Chain A
């Protein structure tokens, strides 16, 4: 049912939408588990082991609407909200959709309903009914599908965008889903939050040493990049000096103003502040170590007393357990 799209529209997806869909799915999934099992479900993960007591054979499908802006041939999907799916009539809750649409219009007057989303591994026939239902709001809605199963070998996002096209199959014009490519577009705020989430668990270990190593590695790569840029500038200036490249005064002026900012960390005030902060940190860790040691000592003394002090009393213990 899915071939490649030929409509020529370019899709831009914001990470907020992906996070919203996975959050919706995770919530519904953890709410549908019986209360005896721990509702421990990190986002977008299939908690296979928790399904042992009451296995929902197929993961619940969640539905919702995506909204955004369409400018010319570019469709940019900014946000999404959830909808209730009525399994009896196989349709989405229309009244709620319209109410939500009105509310969103007040806050974001530019955003239109661009389509809908769901979870699952592939688009199905019944989805076409929902798609048709949305066609009166938007003449060509998009269908965003999130695949919630985790595949460690998979390198790209498990998100697919489908469009509907009128194809002639067996002499009957039918609407079928065709896949489209998309790009991820981020706003500064989204970039910061995604970066934050990505760095919560740097690797499987979480000990102080690995975190330190991860942080240092980050700094290392940043400095390496700076290094390569400066090296490029250096070569260019050498070439200019030799005469291979025509002298460009504007660039030289900029470079000289840049170099004037060096040395960046030499001033006396910096040394003072830096040493003060360094000493403060050392002091704090020393103090923490002290507290640790004294509490361990305290425990040791308590155990010692419990073990050996009762020998005088009748019925004392014979050995330290």
Chain B
């Protein structure tokens, strides 16, 4: 089999998605940790347009953008399928994956907002998004993919760890069993999946990292 390499960054949820897909499918790969303050020549060569991680390199061929990488992995290694085969069900899965991408800016606003009024508004906006996800995307299913996780769960995975940490850093909690019981249960179920449990970055390390980012954001805004 041609060599598979992944250029990633330990804290990046986009990088994490690709790791999950590769591990679920049992694909051997070499992981290369990039220093984002000093990007490698290889990364700049493989992703000249965006210069970002993750980049998957298969047999020397680079693929950029996490969702495009996920679809590539799904099509190249069809064992342990992570998308429905029915075109309509597949379109619905892609719809929900796109939904969390589209709402990324609201999450950004939540993490970057200073001042209690702005923070609470951003939190309220994002709570509405979470409600839609719980009611319409997840419903009564155990996972977005049904009985087992699929690409939709993998795409939403950042809610289970990255977002939960952001809530702690900002000090506003939304994804709570009292407010979002089914989505909170999904978080627990998701984190129990062996592949996920084994690969999630260390919580304390990530929390400290996110606190540092948050401090920089606050400092920047105070200086402006």
* A, B from the same assembly: no
Residues of B within 8 A of A (CB): none
